[in-house]
Structure formats: structure tokens, C-alpha cells
Amino acid sequence: MLVTGNDILIPARAGKYGVGSFNTNNMEITEAIIHTAEKLRSPVMVQMSEGAIKYGGQDLANIVIDLATRATVPVALHLDHGSSYESALNAIRMGFTSVMIDASHHDFAGNVAETRRVVEAAHAMGISVEAEIGRLGGIEEHIVVDEKDAFLTDPAEAVQFIEQTGTDYLAIAIGTSHGAFKGKGRPYIDHARIEKIAGMTGIPLVAHGSSGVPQEIVERFRAAGGEIGDAAGIADEDLQRATGFGIAKVNVDTDLRLASTVGIREVLQATPKEFDPRKILGRARDVMAQVIEHKMGVLGSVGKA
């Protein structure tokens, strides 16, 4: 069933488990996400970035909405990193049931003002809202945040921000970053900060940049001819601890990009004569489903729907 973000995330926060919010860009990714959620009886969020909307538009949104509506578990369609009020409103018009307004590059007052506008409009239509405070290292959408400017979320500011905006859930900067290179070895996660923010706030918290970049997938990527440097993601134990403290929405894109490319590369390498897209993309869908299944197990959402 197609539901709002609040329908999924409020129970997750109360039950101290995390729900994966996976980025989609095509039918195979969408099927891997929603069919795995049904198999495992897990709630799930499917998110489209502005880039995904540019690529797949209403065609792709309709695929998600149709699969979600027919699904036997709760599914929300979420706008990832909406960059403006207009972008959030456009997504709501397209049928999204959850939107992110990412005004975290503004100063505090500017972030509050832009977020409030979106909250007022979205709530009038029964749609829930994610906002962000603090900055992730690395690249956020089209905004390049210099590592030395990157700063983690201040707990007192998070409390003020929630009071002043009425946002339904809040993305916090806790040391994660987007992409396949989250640092050397084990990336740093500020668990004490998560615990403190969760203790001072009641709403679901969101972790961006939560791909695990599984080493098995990285090895297979290399073995099938892919080139990738010292890729590293968030350790399963770190993510599990974070969900126990109050991280309810866990954003994952990179892992599915890697998994789908591994599937495609392996088929093409093993069978150079193959040119049936169903064989090639079907294998990509299977590898993504395996990665999603593992992630749902780590997050504790299995059996919650």
C-alpha cells in the first residue's frame, strides 16, 4: 500500500528499528526494492532525486506508485534532496507521499524559513516532510561541501529547528557522506551525538550516506572488470547501533548502483554473446535484491509490516 513517510517512520522510531530509503532510477531497481520488502514483510521507502525525476519523470514515478499501491507492505514515495519549495511542490503534484527539503546549505534562519514554507504546503495536503540540519562531508546532490566546511549537527540547534519548522523527520550530520568513498578503513560515526539528539527530540531521525559498500560486492565489481579505488562504507554494526538510538530512515543509493553494475558486468563477462536486456538487467535486479535483503536484516525492519 502507498502510505506517507510518517506512516512508516513514526512506528520505526518508536520500535527502535530502521527503514531503508532506497534510491530508484528505473523499473528493475524499483522492483528489487518493493518485491524484497514484500518477501521480508518489511516497510520500505523508495526515493527519487531531482536527477531521477529529470531522467525518468512521471513515467518512473508512476511505476513506483503502481508497485507501491499493489504492494502488500507499506511503501512511501519520497523526494530525495529537494532543493527548493518549487521542487517539493512539483513532487507532491507528481504523487509523492513524502518530500525532503534540503536547505541545509543556507544559514539557520534561511533553512528554517524555506523548510517552514514546505511544511505548511505539504501538511495541507497530508504529505510528510524531511529537512536537514548540519552538513554531510562529500557531495550532496549538486552542492559540493568542502570537507573542512562540513560540520556535524548541533543537538540544541536540532531542537530549535524542529520547534520552528514542524518538520516530520530530520536528517542529521553524524559523520556519514555520500558515495562509495566514505573514508579510509572504518568511517567515523558519532554515536554519542546521535544518542544525544535522539534524547532531546521525539521525531524520527534520518541518516544519509548509509551505504555499506560491501567488500564482497566491491571485489566482484573488480573481478568483472570494474575499476574502483579504496571504496568503504558504513559498517553494519555502526548502522545497527544508530537505529537503536533513533535513526529511523536510512538512505541507500550507492550500494544499489554497485550491485546493479556487478550484475550487468558479470553477465556480459561470462556470456559475451548475450544481448537480451532481460538477461542482463534481470541479473542486476537479482544482485540488488540480495543487497537489499541484507540491509533490511541489519536495520531490523524484517517482519515489521
For position 141 contacting ligand G3H by CB under 6 A, the verdict is yes
Find which of ligand 13P, ligand G3H, Zn ion, none residue 211 binds, CB within 5 to 8 Å per kind.
ligand 13P
Backbone torsions φ then ψ of 201, nearest 5 degrees? -130, 160
For position 208 contacting Zn ion by CB under 5 A, the verdict is yes
Cα 43 → chain centroid: 13
Q: How far, CA to CA in Å, does 11 sit from each of 14, 20, 130, 162, 251?
A: 5, 14, 16, 19, 17
Find which of ligand G3H, Zn ion, ligand 13P, none residue 141 binds, CB within 5 to 8 Å per kind.
ligand G3H
Backbone torsions φ then ψ of 77, nearest 5 degrees? -105, 120
For position 251 contacting ligand 13P by CB under 6 A, the verdict is yes
- For ligand 13P, the binding residues in 115-134 under the rule CB under 6 A are none
Quick check: 77 and 96 in contact, CB under 8 A? yes
Show the binding pattern over residues 10-49: x = contacts ligand G3H (CB under 6 A), - = does not.
Answer: -------------x-------------------------x
For position 132 contacting ligand G3H by CB under 6 A, the verdict is no
Q: Decide whether 154 or 255 has the Cβ nearer to ligand 13P.
A: 255
Find which of ligand 13P, ligand G3H, Zn ion, none residue 210 binds, CB within 5 to 8 Å per kind.
ligand 13P
- For ligand 13P, the binding residues in 80-109 under the rule CB under 6 A are 80-81
CA separation for the pair 189, 204 (Å, rounded) = 18
Q: Decide whether 197 or 280 has the Cβ nearer to Zn ion.
A: 197
Q: Decide whether 53 or 71 has the Cβ nearer to ligand G3H.
A: 53
For position 266 contacting ligand G3H by CB under 6 A, the verdict is no
Q: What angle do CA 45, 210, 290 make, to 5 degrees?
A: 65
Give Rg (Cα) of the chain.
18
Q: How far is the CB of 48 from ligand G3H (least distance, A)?
A: 8
Please select the residue that binds ligand G3H; options are 3, 19, 32, 52, rule is CB under 6 A.
52
Helix (H, G, I), strand (E, B) or coil at 132: strand
For position 211 contacting ligand 13P by CB under 6 A, the verdict is yes
Active-site residue (options: 80, 102, 154, 168): 80
CA separation for the pair 104, 125 (Å, rounded) = 24
Q: Which three cell numbers stand for residue 29?
A: 531497481
Please select the residue that binds ligand G3H; options are 78, 81, 135, 295, rule is CB under 6 A.
81
Cβ neighbours of residue 158 under 8 Å, at least 6 residues apart? 133, 170, 172, 197, 200, 201
Show the binding pattern over residues 12-31: x = contacts ligand 13P (CB under 6 A), - = does not.
Answer: -----------x--------
Cβ neighbours of residue 62 under 8 Å, at least 6 residues apart? 95
Quick check: 105 and 135 in contact, CB under 8 A? yes
- Total residues found in the chain within this entry: 305
Please select the residue that binds ligand G3H; options are 11, 51, 244, 282, rule is CB under 6 A.
51
Quick check: 19 and 250 in contact, CB under 8 A? yes
Whether 80 is catalytic is yes
CA separation for the pair 18, 35 (Å, rounded) = 18
Hey, how many other C-beta atoms are within 10 angstroms of the C-beta on 1?
A: 13
Judged by the rule CB under 6 A, the positions of this chain that interact with ligand 13P are: 23, 80-81, 178-179, 208-211, 251-255
Footprint of ligand G3H (CB under 6 A): 23, 49, 51-52, 80-81, 141, 178, 253
Could you give the residue numbers annotated as active site? 80
* Interface residues toward Zn ion, by CB under 5 A: 208, 251
